[in-house]
Amino acid sequence: MDANSPAIHRNPTRPVKIGSVTIGAGNPIAVQSMTATHTTNIDATVAQVNAVAAAGADVIRIAVDSKKDADALIEIRRQTSANLSVDLQENYRLAELVAPHVDKIRYNPGHLYHHEREKPWQDKVRYIAGIAADNDCAIRVGVNCGSVDPAKLDRYDADDSISPMLESAFDHCEFLDSLGFTRYCVSLKDSDPQKVIEVNRRFAEQRPDVPLHLGVTEAGMPPDGIIKTRIAFEQLISRGIGDTVRVSLTVPNDRKGEEIAAGRAILADIAAGRVRSVVDFGLPTLNIISCPSCSRVENEAFIDLAQQVKEMTQYAKDHAITIAVMGCRVNGPGETDDADLGLWCAPNFVNLKRGPEELGAYPYDEILPRLKQELDALIEAKSAASV
């Protein structure tokens, strides 16, 4: 994409260097992806990193959730020249082990509470920023709708998911600035493209200097996931908001390059003025959200299950119901709370939820009929309420 196209007036964000790529300050919008292999499977992870890089990825993120993952990352780094970002997941202390081998560290403000709970988040961020500065790393502050700083959630109504995300992002930016660490970008993600548009628009109004990483989390399977993402990107990038993007799709490992192709196609269309979205995505139709396949997925049957859910629920396509299919324990429990029905997948079973209510755990081969029972009951209840 020609980031300096006269048709798009970019926000005046500051430059942030990530390995050989620089985002912000009018540089071309970078396209990212994330590995879906288990990080400890070094050969598979290296193969995927290199395949996605060959597909045109500017930055590739790898999840590190343990010392074993961190050890594997050392060898992965030896075997690829790609720009690597690391996702710290729930253990911020792993930063010192991985920073020498990557170009960017991503942390989630909500996840900082999972270890050393009594320690203030500011102390943890100070540590991460120091490690990043010592190792020539950028930082991404990754704010996610399903794992927001709990202290922020308590200040707002339960139906206001945007305000706590914004407050968390602003606080972390202000604190990093106070440390003199400005080599960071921010992401504010939700599975609802309209919320992604709103939260990023409001952030950019207050902090136009901070580069933004755009994405619709749990966008789902193609083509629906691409459509949802396109809507958010078109509405934001056409307003000059966004410096790097990731299209999060639920696809098999050998198709991860489709995320890059989709991102490049969307950016090219925006640059050429081929904007196809409408402002309101809230159509009275079935909405299935599913997380992108990544290394946190504990059973690859999740990918097949997401497709089976999509096929099985076609009869309900004209009902305004949201079903979430999540692939792991990290984001699954929280990010299914806002869906009418939610599935989050463990290694040997699938947890079924109705909103935040836990309905039980079922084997993979038994979950679809049980989901259908709940879906039928929900349709009946909504129909009765509308009479």
pLDDT number for residue 3 = 45
Each residue's pLDDT tens digit, 318-347: 998 989 888 877 666 766 787 899 998 888
pLDDT number for residue 331 = 62
Other C-beta atoms closer than 10 Å to the C-beta of 350 total 26
Are 186 and 210 in contact by the 8 Å Cβ rule? The answer is yes
From first CA to last CA, the distance across the chain in angstroms is 50
- Statement: residue 352 has pLDDT above 70: yes
pLDDT classification of 82: cutoffs 50, 70, 90: very high
- Statement: residue 10 has pLDDT above 80: yes
Mean pLDDT, the chain, integer: 90
For 235, how many CA atoms within 13 A lie in the half-sphere containing its CB? 21
* Sequence-separated (6 or more) residues with CB below 8 Å from residue 100: 135
Each residue's pLDDT tens digit, 104-115: 999 999 999 878
Question: Taking each helix axis from N to C terminus, what angle separates 121-134 and 162-178, rounded to the nearest 10 degrees?
Answer: 50
Each residue's pLDDT tens digit, 360-376: 999 999 999 999 999 99
pLDDT number for residue 279 = 33
What's the helix, strand, coil split of the chain in %, to 5?
Answer: 40, 20, 40
pLDDT number for residue 224 = 86
* Residue ranges in the chain assigned as alpha helix (H): 42-54, 67-78, 95-98, 121-134, 150-153, 162-178, 193-206, 224-237, 257-271, 301-312, 332-335, 367-386
pLDDT number for residue 278 = 37
pLDDT number for residue 336 = 77
Task: Provide mean pLDDT across the span 91-117.
Answer: 93
Other C-beta atoms closer than 10 Å to the C-beta of 305 total 23
Rounded to two decimals, the pTM is 0.78
The radius of gyration computed from the CA coordinates of the chain, to the nearest angstrom, equals 20
pLDDT number for residue 140 = 98
Each residue's pLDDT tens digit, 156-197: 888 899 999 999 999 999 999 999 999 999 999 998 999 999
Percent of the chain with pLDDT over 90: 66
pLDDT number for residue 157 = 87
Other C-beta atoms closer than 10 Å to the C-beta of 66 total 14
Domains and CATH numbers, the chain: 16-271 (3.20.20.20), 287-386 (3.30.413.10)
pLDDT number for residue 335 = 66
Cα–Cα distance between 125 and 134 in angstroms, integer?
A: 14
The two structure tokens encoding residue 263: 């991102």
Measured CA to CA in angstroms, residue 331 lies from 89, 146, 232, 263, 334 at distances of: 10, 7, 21, 23, 6
- Statement: residue 275 has pLDDT above 70: no
Task: Provide mean pLDDT across the span 288-292.
Answer: 73
pLDDT classification of 354: cutoffs 50, 70, 90: very high
* Sequence-separated (6 or more) residues with CB below 8 Å from residue 313: 286, 288, 323, 375
- Statement: residue 249 has pLDDT above 60: yes
Helix (H, G, I), strand (E, B) or coil at 119: coil
Task: Provide mean pLDDT across the span 117-142.
Answer: 96
pLDDT classification of 50: cutoffs 50, 70, 90: very high
